[in-house]
Amino acid sequence: MMRKTFVVLFMAMIALSFCSKKDGEKTPLAERRFHEANEPRPVPAAAKDAPLWITAVRLSPEAPTVLDDITAAAELDDPALENVNFQYEWYANGHELADVWGDKVEKGKLKRGSWVYCRMKAVLEDAESEWARSDLIQVLNTPPTLQLGPVGEISVPGEFQYRAAASDPDEDDLTFELPSPPDPGIAIDPKSGLLTWSLTEETVKRLGEKVEIKIVVGDGEAKAEGSITLQFTSATRRSELP
């Protein structure tokens, strides 16, 4: 009975020792969740022992697109400190950006949908802080841009053609549409942006001397809208942008 009790006590002591060691171990920063890096500075035993401490790492802008530089800035526990240098590590989609060293990821470096964060360390003379990590932010979608050039001369009756152009910084597939066509005979190719219309004298008389055509292009998430205005004359009819 005494031997059994001794074995139980011995196993309990081993378990307690293991738990104490585990609790005392410091979790590597890479394994922490990002917001845990911005934790309060530990209270030093004396003022002279106070370490450098980064209280926050902030990324700007908070909702970037591929057209934005993403910049990191640290906030120190002691903002009065001067001549503090910083080291940077940038990560996108869980992988380090080995070719980015400074406080900025230049625009175009990351694609839409990328998740990015930055780790920073403060260095002052012989002292340095722990690494601190920013919040995780995502590179958002950039709306497409619609380019509507000048409209050429048209003849009535005749076939009118006009090609709308568009670009997208994210290189998304674009789709063209006519949200409110003034005539059932107008059509636009959703991929090429080519607008076609079979014009007749009756159509022009019915619609009047001026017709506005709205054109929309979308990338699946955002849209851009513009319009062209056709100005008809009695003989060779010429359309022009408003």
Q: Which CATH number is 42's domain given?
A: 2.60.40
126 with 185, same domain: the answer is: no
When mean pLDDT is compared across 10-19, 115-124, 131-140, 148-157, the lowest value belongs to: 10-19
Domain co-membership, 183 together with 131: no
Domain contains 14: no
Least confident interval from 9-13, 56-60, 67-71, 131-135: 9-13
Residue 123 in domain:
yes
Q: Can the peptide bond before residue 242 be classed as cis, meaning omega within 30 degrees of 0? A: no
Query: Which of residues 86, 113, 138 is at a domain's end?
Result: 138
Q: Which of 96, 122, 138 is the last residue of a domain?
A: 138
Are 132 and 168 part of one and the same domain? no
Question: Is 10 inside a domain boundary?
Answer: no
Mean pLDDT confidence for 118-140: 94
21 phi, psi to nearest 5 deg: -65, -40
Domain match, 104 and 160 both:
no
Cα dihedral 102/103/109/113 (nearest 10): 140
Buried b (16+ CB within 10 A) or exposed e, 215-230: bbbbbeeebbebebeb
At which of 93, 122, 138 does a domain end? 138
Classify residue 193 as left (phi > 0), alpha (psi -120 to 50) or beta: left
Q: String of b and e for 190-200 (b: at least 16 CB within 10 Å)?
A: eeebebebebe
Which of 149-153, 224-228, 234-238 has the least mean pLDDT? 234-238
Percent of the chain exceeding pLDDT 70 equals: 74
- Counting Cβ atoms within 10 Å, is residue 72 exposed (0-12), middle (13-18) or buried (19+)? buried
Question: Residue 219: which domain range?
Answer: 145-238
One domain, residues 173 and 225: yes
Position 70 scores a pLDDT of 98
Residue 222 lies in a domain: yes
Residue 214 and residue 230 share a domain: yes
pLDDT band at 233 (very low <50, low <70, confident <90, very high): low
pLDDT tens readout for residues 9-57: 444 444 444 344 334 343 334 333 343 455 555 555 444 555 789 999 9
Alpha-carbon span 91 to 70, nearest angstrom: 12
How high is the pLDDT of residue 113? Answer: 96
The total number of structural domains that make up the chain: 2
Task: Tell me if 42 is assigned to some domain.
Answer: yes
Separation CA 21–CA 113 (nearest Å): 41
Specify burial of residue 47 (Cβ count, 10 A radius: 0-12, 13-18, 19+): exposed
Would strands 175-177 and 165-167 be described as parallel, antiparallel, or unpaired?
unpaired
For residue 116, being part of any structural domain is answered with yes
Per-residue confidence band for 208, with pLDDT thresholds at 50, 70 and 90: confident
101 in a domain, yes or no? yes
- Residue 24 lies inside a defined structural domain of this protein: no
For residues 45 and 134, membership in a common domain is answered with yes
Q: Quickly tell me which residue has 């003379």 as its tokens.
A: 125
User: So what's the pLDDT on residue 206?
Assistant: 87
Instruction: Tell me what pLDDT residue 152 has.
Output: 65
